[in-house]
Amino acid sequence: MIEIAFLGGAATVTGSKHRIRTSRATVLIECGLFQGHRADANRRNRSLPLDAAALDAVVLSHAHLDHSGALPVLAHHGYRGPIYATPATRDLCAPMLEDAASIQQADARHIDRLIARGVDLEPVTPLYDHDDVVAALALMVGLPYHRRQTIAPGIDLTFLDAGHVLGSAIVVLDVEDRGVQLRIAFTGDLGRPNMPILRDPEIPERVDYLITESTYGDRRHPPIAESQDALAAAVARTAARGGKVVIPSFALERAQEIVFALRSLERAGRMPPMPVYVDSPLTVKITDIFKLHPECYDAETRALIRGHDSPFDFPELRYVDDREDSKAIDAERGPSIVISASGMCEAGRILHHLKAGIEDPRNTVLIVGYQAQHTLGRRLVEQRARVRIFGVERERRAEVVVLNGFSAHADQRDLVSYAAATAARGAIEHVALVHGDPKPQEILAGLLGARGIGDVRVPSPGDKLDLGGA
């Protein structure tokens, strides 16, 4: 028997958890957090849909929290086996999971304060604490790309580069049970070809069963060069007005891509002289980890580093850790660029910069990442005339510019050509679409089906598929 169960990240984009079971072994791929409405997400994250003690091994594709963020919950429930990830992913998980624990604690305190003021809310307890994070990190085993490793009886793991974020991997499992042999490839989140810094996604050979993400199964991204031009134009326009550019950004990958893009503009003489601040302690830590892992870079970026030219530094760029230095940025006169977290403007220092700058028509808010519903980021994308920051209504006079081209996810064309390229290296029997909302999944399933790429399925949460064997 070889069975796969889709326990999370099925028909939705968060909470990834997929379990492979044979007569001899049980392996979990991903242990991500559900994100979304607080009460619902909290309930789903608190209970694990599996028996932690029954697992032989866990495999993690990359460090984003919707894939890794429930690992401390797993440790809390008594899991003590290995968690395999690439060395860069392992390093990134330390600050990412620590930050997640801190945010949960801050959230719980915030809710307590509201309850004390008489607001009708249920108290929340954090999902996990720093001890659970340390317990999970202690289980992580770094496995480099392309090194095949037996991780459970009859199950071998090989990581290929996924080109999505630093350290991101495509998970290839060779599974054997009672004479049946299968190769399962799971894309994790798939990157885009020709992204700066990272290599292109690698194509596995002779895959029987492809599990692919489908986030943008219904959409195409504008070319990266076009976004670079739009970024240059927005910066020049704001500088000419004497304003500031405020960029909310996720700490992992997006922030480094933006720094890299600004550095390219600066080198090409396309940026007016102005200070650029990366103001987010988590982003600063993560950028340091980028510097430790040149093995994850593409040839162009490696050549830069060999020439002692860091892709993450240029003369006008300052990394800001200290809280007082952060406050000083808003008091400065004249044009500047501030990159800060959180990416959807829900928490963190970005809120202070928005509060200070949103009412000044000389300024620009530059949106470079996905903004979920009900977030301040989404209200800015919708160009609302008034927005609420720290509980106070403010007039939005700053210009809002949305750049979609910096996405780290494959778009529809990339997803179809990736599946086709994999099928060209050995006929795929089955395809399962995960990590997507129903509409993009339906469209992508149609496109793959029309090309005759395997028997395409869109599993629902909890679905189990028997892949053969006795």
Chain contacts with Zn ion (rule: CB under 5 A): 64, 189
Minimum Å gap between C-beta 160 and Zn ion is 16
Shortest distance in whole angstroms from residue 401 CB to Zn ion: 24
Element (H, E) at 160: strand 155-161
Nearer to Zn ion, 64 or 254 (CB): 64
Closer by beta carbon to Zn ion, 160 or else 338: 160
Total residue count of the chain as it appears in this document: 470
The C-alpha atoms of residue 239 and residue 232 are separated, in whole angstroms, by 11
**What letter would DSSP give residue 198?**
B
- Positive or negative, the CA dihedral 332, 338, 340, 345 is positive
Q: What is the DSSP string of 396-437?
A: --SEEEE--TT--S--HHHHHHHHHHHHTTS---EEEEESS-
- Residue nearer to Zn ion on the CB measure, 19 or 62: 62
- For residue 261, how far is the Cα from the chain centroid? 19
Phi/psi-derived region of residue 3, left when phi > 0, alpha when psi is between -120 and 50, beta in every other case: beta
- Shortest spacing between CB 216 and Zn ion, in angstroms: 12
Residue whose pair of structure tokens reads 């949960």 in the numeric block: 104
| Residue owning tokens 């340091």 | 288
Burial (CB count <10 Å: 0-12, 13-18, 19+), residue 459: buried
**Rounded CA gap, 422 and 430, in Å?**
12
Distance between CA atoms of residues 145 and 168, nearest Å: 10
Q: Which is nearer to Zn ion, 63 or 444 (CB)?
A: 63
Residue 318 C-beta: closest distance to Zn ion, Å: 28
Rounded to whole angstroms, how far apart are CA atoms 301 and 293? 12
Looking at the Cβ atoms of 408 and 431, the one nearer to Zn ion is 408
**Which CB atom, from 167 or from 335, has the smaller least distance to Zn ion?**
167
Classified as helix, coil or strand, 378 is helix
Where do runs of H (alpha helix) occur along 139-190? none
* 8 Å CB contact between 173 and 157: yes
Residue 140 CB, shortest distance to Zn ion, in Å, is: 17
| Pick 18 or 64: Cβ nearer Zn ion | 64
Q: How far is the CB of 164 from Zn ion (least distance, A)?
A: 6
Shortest distance in whole angstroms from residue 288 CB to Zn ion: 20
Residue with smaller CB distance to Zn ion, 30 or 189 = 189
> For residues 2 and 92, which CB has a smaller minimum distance to Zn ion in the complex?
92
Shortest Cβ distance from residue 33 to Zn ion (Å)? 12
Q: How many CA atoms lie within 13 A of 234 on its CB side?
A: 24
Instruction: Report the run of H or E that residue 135 belongs to, with start and end.
Output: helix 130-138
CB of 187 to Zn ion, least distance (A): 11
Peptide bond into 342 cis (omega under 30): yes
